Structures are given as structure tokens and as C-alpha cells.
Amino acid sequence: MHTTDVPSDLHYSEYTIPSGGTRIVLSVWEPPRPDAVIVFVPATMVHPLFYETLLSGFAERGFAVVGVHPVGHGKSPRDVRRYTLRDIVQNAKDAVSFAEQRYRLPILSMGSSQGGIVAAALAAEDARIAAAFPHNIVLAELPDSIVVTRFPKFLRHVYRPLLGAFGLLARLLPDAKLPLKFYLQRNRISEDPAFWASVERDPLFLRGYSLYFLASLFTTVFPGLTNGGIHCPLYLITDTNDQLFTMDYTRFVFDRLRAPHKELIELDLGGHMFMATHPREVCEILSPKMREALAIVEAGNIEGDI
């Protein structure tokens, strides 16, 4: 465990835990008397400290926050060459176990972009999650999901053969590293050069993913998201100016999700990276929603299927 100072009466610590045959790091922000826990999973190639203002902001509002440095990301060891999206989901489940043992409090899952997929998967697969707050979800089984990538939209007509070809390439060259721009358009993530300059200066930012991981990202399906596997409130978060996960796609996905209580939270904070660029506004908006979700669970008002 490593401890550093943080403003106010919060306590910041780092823990290393076993997960999936290796070890991962957790960043933990603690208020003096938390009454719930957020397990947070970061976006593509980044880490929880990238969202430090956001996560410490939730801690200031009474939530303990456990930020996951997924396998091979952030401060976690780089001793595993090949991992998949499923491995990151397992990392998050192990972080939930850590939170459960440490706090004995209700646990909320939350994640941004790629981390949003993981946060939603937790809601569908882990009964310990009291409520889920994913920022974006991809349903890999839907051909329309290609609109999130930089690949031409017409390829949705050959989506499954395309994924098959990509999987074959990944088996032939599993360790080939590809940069972010291979499959996502950077200007749809953010058009701000200052944002990208700060990302490039971050020594913990990954410079690429292996074909092995990308194949899993494009093909991993979480059936529980659409077949009734979610048994807790689900709040899907998006931004109306998001150029990566457009409103049309997000509503398309939202309509297919099945949960006993679900809500689409549409923000207007400037685009896809709002959790990093507008952290204080996000805390102000989402903290009451988290309290609302906990109240729904406590009252037992989560029966039915929307």
C-alpha cells in the first residue's frame, strides 16, 4: 500500500491485489465516514488517476471510491502480454471483492467509455452491484456498433464476416500493437489539442493495444445486458455532443437494455471526454442520482422490467 496526501479530509491510498493470475493496482479515495462505494473503471488506455478530480469529488460527497488500474494499464504491472476485455471485467469483479471486504457497504459500478462497458457487465454478472452508472455501452453483437469505430458505416452489412477476419488476423499476429487511431477517430473523442497534449505527456497512458485485445473488444458479448441479467438500477450516461457514441446509437442501445429500473442521463458538457474535462459538474449531477438509486434499492422498488 502506498499513501499520498490529498486535499481536505480525504485519504488516498494505493493497494495491489491479485487478479486473473497477475496483480493489479487500485486507487482508493476515502472520506471519513463513507456510506456507499463506487468501483470505477477508466476509459481506453488510461487509468483512475486520469480522473482524479472527478473521483475525489465523489469522495468529498460521501462515497468511497475504488479506481481500477486494469491489467497492463496505469500503475498495474506490465508482466502480462496478452489480456482480453474479459480479463478487465475480472479485474473489476476482484475490485468489488476488495470493496465488499473493506467497507461492507452498498457498491455502485461506474466506468467511462470502455470502462462503461465493464461497469455495465458488472451489473449483468455480479449480484453484489447495487446500481450501475456506465458512461456509454457497446453491444458488440449489433452490426450498428461499427459506427463507434473509424471504419466505414457500410461495413455493418458484412459485420460478422469482418469480425471473423479480424479474429483470424489476431490469431496470426496476436502481439502486434496498434495505436488508438487505428480503430477510433481522435477528433471524435476530443477536438481539443490541449487535451491530447496532456494525454501524451501522461507517463501512464498506454500507446497501443494488441490485436489480441482488440479482437476481444470487438467480439465479447454480455448477454445479461439484454436478456434480463441485470437485477439493479441502471443509469446510462451520455453527452448530447458526443461525436463518438452518438445520441442515435446510445438510444438504440438503451432501448435494448433490460433492467428493473433504467434511465438515460443526457448531459450537455461538451463531448465524449466530459468526465475528465468537467469533473465538478459531473459530480454535482450524478451524486444525487446515486443517492436516488440507493434509495430505490433500499425501498425494494426495483421489480419489473423496462
Nearest to 214 by CA among 44, 42, 37: 44
Is residue 19 in some structural domain? yes
Give dist(CA 143, CA 145) in Å, integer: 5
Is residue 95 in some structural domain? yes
Nearest to 35 by CA among 65, 63, 66: 63
| Average pLDDT score, the chain | 94
Q: How confident is the model at residue 300 (pLDDT cuts 50, 70, 90)?
A: confident
Is residue 60 in some structural domain? yes
Give dist(CA 27, CA 59) in Å, integer: 12
- Exposure string of 41-65, with b = 16+ CB inside 10 Å and e = fewer, is bbbbbbbbbbbbebbbbbbbbebbb
Give dist(CA 184, CA 161) in Å, integer: 20
Residue 67 has pLDDT above 90, yes or no: yes
Is residue 61 in some structural domain? yes
In percent, the amount of the chain with pLDDT more than 70 equals 95
Please tell me the number of Cα atoms within 13 Å of 142 on its side-chain side: 19
Question: How large is the average pLDDT for residues 50-61?
Answer: 97
Residue 121 has pLDDT above 90, yes or no: yes
CATH number, domain of 96, equals: 3.40.50.1820
Sequence-distant (≥ 6) Cβ neighbours of residue 159 within 8 angstroms: 143, 146
Give the β-pairing of 107-112 and 177-178.
unpaired
Q: What pLDDT does 303 receive?
A: 56
Q: What pLDDT does 304 receive?
A: 46
**Placement of cell 455493418 in the chain:** 156
**Range(s) of the domain holding residue 265:** 2-145+222-299
Is residue 226 in some structural domain? yes
Question: How large is the average pLDDT for residues 253-268?
Answer: 97
pLDDT in tens, 163-214: 999 999 999 999 999 999 999 999 999 999 999 999 999 999 999 999 999 9
CA dihedral 107→138→90→85, nearest 10 degrees, is -160
Is residue 199 in some structural domain? no
Handedness of CA 68, 70, 72, 77 (dihedral sign): positive
Is residue 89 in some structural domain? yes
Give dist(CA 294, CA 131) in Å, integer: 7
- To which H or E segment does residue 269 belong? none
Give dist(CA 287, CA 63) in Å, integer: 9
Is residue 102 in some structural domain? yes
pTM of the model: 0.94
Q: What pLDDT does 81 receive?
A: 84
In the chain, the number of structural domains is 1
> Which of the 8 DSSP states describes residue 8?
T
